[in-house]
Amino acid sequence: MTIPDVKEKIRGLSARRRLLCALVTVLALVLICVALHKRVGVIVGSVNGKLQVVHGCSAFSRGIFRDEDGFEREAKRIFEVQRDGSIAMFDTSIGSIWYPVSAWTWPALVEASAADLYNLRSLVRLSDVVLDVGANMGTETRNALSAGARLVVAIEPDPVSLECLRRNLSSEIRENRVIVVPQGAWDKAETMPLYLDAANAGGASVLFANGRGETFASLNTIDWMVSNLKLPKVDVIKIHVEGAERQALLGARETIRRFHPRLALSLEHYLSDADTLPQTARAIWPGYHVQLTPCVKTFARIHPEVALLTSK
């Protein structure tokens, strides 16, 4: 190979490297622009009052888009593999899950489970008894079992979610590792309308109607459920019950006073949740230490995602 040939080859390599660098730079700029667009939109929304920001969070809080990004990421990975009427089995990054066909929220459920939203992998210890209050399709029940729980009581009033939960955890139910309670958690025994939303599986609520369909649900206290099941102990309680978290806590007074269980409380439904829910729990048992997980954007609100309460 002559010297001119070598020089020409070097020029060709340099040109390809320059092209590759240019493409990488353009891609990086696109990603930066997308991120800035999201951030600018949040800043503008917080300034003009269209976005609610609570409890030490801000438009500049780090990681506030993690749920949205996770939703988009998981949506690309989920595929329907089997259908049975109004529900179907989907192949997801956390395994196969039965879920309502009409709902669009399954990527959020998968993302929350994969990200350990409620910190169950660290809260739950070997041989624990766990209450999954608002068990939905059973993904957090599965997380608790994976973390070492001996028994999980899955509490869920929505009939469609219950059907999916029973299919998702059929072997664990047969093995008596999961007990399903087809009721809602409340501060007293009562039957109330349960407002359903076919598009938002897991959004069934006794408080938020919004013109949706409805059925009737049997509600009772966590204290009654614990007593009725003759549970010897309760180590962890996770609560996500579409705005009824405070009522569920008030219905768990004796359980909390007796066992001092570690708590994971959803904070996404009311602006005051980050204050009132830990306060309610600490009024029942003052020995709790409170930790709020990082801020996240949920629709038109930026808020701490979950309150974790552990004994001091």
For 100-148, write each residue's pLDDT tens digit.
Answer: 999 999 899 999 999 999 999 999 999 999 999 999 999 999 999 999 9
Cα diameter, the chain: 92
Task: Specify whether 137 is located in the same domain as 166.
Answer: yes
Task: Specify whether 294 is located in the same domain as 179.
Answer: yes
Task: Specify whether 238 is located in the same domain as 297.
Answer: yes
Structural domains counted in the chain = 2
Q: Give the angle subtended at the CA of 78 by the CAs of 76 and 82, to the nearest 5°.
A: 150
Write out the residue range of the structural domain in which residue 157 sits.
66-311
For 40-67, write each residue's pLDDT tens digit.
Answer: 454 444 445 567 888 788 878 888 888 8
Task: Specify whether 33 is located in the same domain as 99.
Answer: no
The whole-angstrom separation of Cα 29 and Cα 42 is 20
% residues pLDDT > 70 (the chain): 83
Task: Specify whether 27 is located in the same domain as 104.
Answer: no
Asked if residue 59 is part of any domain, the answer here is no
CA separation (Å) from 99 to 146, 206, 295?
21, 21, 28
Task: Specify whether 120 is located in the same domain as 199.
Answer: yes
Task: Specify whether 183 is located in the same domain as 306.
Answer: yes
The whole-angstrom separation of Cα 14 and Cα 203 is 56
Note the pTM of the prediction, 2 decimals: 0.86
Structure tokens given for 268: 């996404």
Average pLDDT, whole number, for the chain?
Answer: 88
At 36, the pLDDT band (50, 70, 90 cuts) reads very low
- The answer, yes or no, to whether residue 181 has pLDDT greater than 70, is yes
Q: Which helix (H) or strand (E) holds 207?
A: none
Asked if residue 58 is part of any domain, the answer here is no
